Amino acid sequence: MINWPVILNIAKTHLVTKMKSSATAALGVTFGIGAYITLISFMTGLNEMLDGLVLNQTPHIHLYNEIEPSETQPVSLYDEFKNSFNIVHSIKPRQSQKKIHNALPILKYLKKDKEVKGATPQLRAQIFYLSGSIDLSGNLVGVDIMEETRLSSMDDYIIQGTPEALKNTENGIILGSGLAEKMSLSVGERVQISTVGGDIFPLKIVGIYQSGVADVDNIQSYANLKTVQRIMGEAQNYITDINIRLYDITLAPTLAKRLQKQFAIKATDINEANAQFETGSNIRDLITYAVSITLLIVAGFGIYNILNMLIYEKMKDIAILKAIGFSGLDVQLIFISQAMMIGLVGGVLGLIVGYGLARLIDNVAFETSALPTITTYPISYNIGYYVIGIAFALLSTFIAGWFPSAKARRIDPVRIIRGT
């Protein structure tokens, strides 16, 4: 039997006649929520950018042939020494190839797997870049450039030229930016490379690549897989690495384990390769939430204070309302709804302010050599944060309004009216 229109009308009248303190309370919420939205958008944008930096350049699962010694040395296979203590000196790595055995069937198998977004073959070759009389040692990676673009947004890191140019140029090369600078080369020119065996090949520069990591940009270049196979004098099934991307990154560790067993091959997953990066983003999230919650608690105290004062001022009104037939619950609802109105107005304004500030930051120039595609500060626009923001605004104002309104509910009208 709660008569909401009457209660809300009284609450609204109280707020409107006390415009100044209502506005102050609402501004407190606006400030808290606005700061939360700005902070979380900026922090998450930054996190996503840094995650992207790591995730784009790191395959979810990396398959390769590790050069390592056999786990069981020949002597332990020999029955006669079974019960003796064997010491083997100068263990050498097992005689093996660098290439992945059965690389093509593995690729075919992976591409059929439903959890796999894609698998790309790579051939990593040690080469020398020849610049006059100077040899610069480095890597040449043979890739399927269109697949790399699809799966690891490689085009984001090609600062000059296009992936298509490499695909269409059989003896093309995308040169690391550090190398291009060292050798004063630019797109359209030619660079000579030499294999470890001493064969020299001229390649045409179709693009410049910048990962943002100087150690990579100074030594690494990309060419078509077939080109590198030809340079190395190897057959078309010679592949040293397979990079796998999954739809769901959390499945990486289990799938890596399975593949390692199934194909007798070394498989590392992304968590193993970048354990520290997750820690970083977790801590940044934690800081963001800690700061936001602090701001909202401060706003909550503001509301608590103002409602408390309002209730002292309205003591007589409360007594009258009770005398003319409003119950304690009605009175409590009047003050709770005042708190909620402040929370709603302040919260919605806070969302708008937060969004505005986020847009502002989004348009501030931010140039970094690490990320060639980024020109302004990164901002994440996630609708979820706005939902959390308004929910928190309502929750905190509800709690801040609860205690003063519960006090109003208990006020004894006789004592107020008789003035004792």
By the criterion CB under 8 A, which residues form the site for other proteins?
3, 5-6, 10, 13-14, 17, 316-317, 319-330, 413-414, 417-418
Instruction: Please give the Cα distance from 353 to 221 (Å, whole number).
Output: 46
Whose Cβ is closer to other proteins: residue 292's or residue 338's?
Answer: 338
Contact 182, 136 (CB under 8 A): yes
Task: Give 66 or 412: the residue with its C-beta nearer to other proteins.
Answer: 412
Q: At closest approach, how far in Å is the CB of 283 from other proteins?
A: 51
In angstroms, give the least distance from the CB of 338 to other proteins. Answer: 13
Quote the CA–CA distance of 136 and 127 in Å, as a whole number. Answer: 8
Eight-class DSSP state of 100 = P
Supply the minimum distance, in Å, between the C-beta of residue 415 and other proteins.
Answer: 10
Whole-number Å distance between alpha carbons of 336 and 339: 5
Q: Are 314 and 14 in contact (CB under 8 A)?
A: yes
Please say which residue, 17 or 276, places its beta carbon nearer to other proteins. Answer: 17
Are the beta carbons of 71 and 206 closer than 8 angstroms?
Answer: no
Closest among 49, 114, 101 to 378, alpha carbons compared: 49
Q: What span, in angstroms and rounded, lies between the C-alpha atoms of 23 and 29?
A: 10
Measured distance CA(99)–CA(118) in Å, rounded: 20
**Please, what is the minimum distance in Å from the beta carbon of residue 10 to other proteins?**
8
Check residue 71 and report its DSSP letter: S
SS3 state of residue 201: strand
- In angstroms, give the least distance from the CB of 340 to other proteins: 19
Which lies closer to other proteins via its Cβ, residue 2 or residue 365? 2
> What's the closest the beta carbon of residue 418 comes to other proteins, in angstroms?
6
Cα separation of 16 and 14, whole Å?
Answer: 6
Instruction: State in angstroms the smallest separation of the CB of 27 from other proteins.
Output: 22
Least distance (Å) between residue 331 CB and other proteins: 10
62 or 409: whose CB is closer to other proteins? 409
Of 23 and 353, CB closest to other proteins: 23
Minimum gap (Å) between residue 332 Cβ and other proteins: 12
- Cα-based distances in Å from 266 to 18, 84, 144: 71, 32, 21
> Which secondary structure element, helix H or strand E, spans residue 130, and what is its range?
strand 116-131
Sorted by sequence, the CB contacts under 8 Å of residue 370 that are 6+ apart come out as 53, 212, 213
Please state, in angstroms and rounded to a whole number, the distance separating the CA atoms of residues 259 and 119. 13
Closest CB to other proteins among residues 154, 321:
321
CB of 333 to other proteins, least distance (A): 12
Say which residues have a Cβ less than 8 Å from residue 68's Cβ, sequence separation at least 6: 93, 94
Tell me whether residue 4 or residue 85 sits nearer to other proteins (CB atom). Answer: 4
Type and span of the H or E element at 345:
helix 328-362
Quick one: DSSP state of residue 236? T
Asked if residues 354 and 44 have their Cβ atoms less than 8 Å apart, the reply is no
CA–CA separation, 371 and 349 (whole Å)? 34
Q: Based on CB atoms, which residue is closest to other proteins, 156 or 317? A: 317
Closer CB to other proteins, 7 or 296, in the complex: 7
Tokens of 66: 């590790």
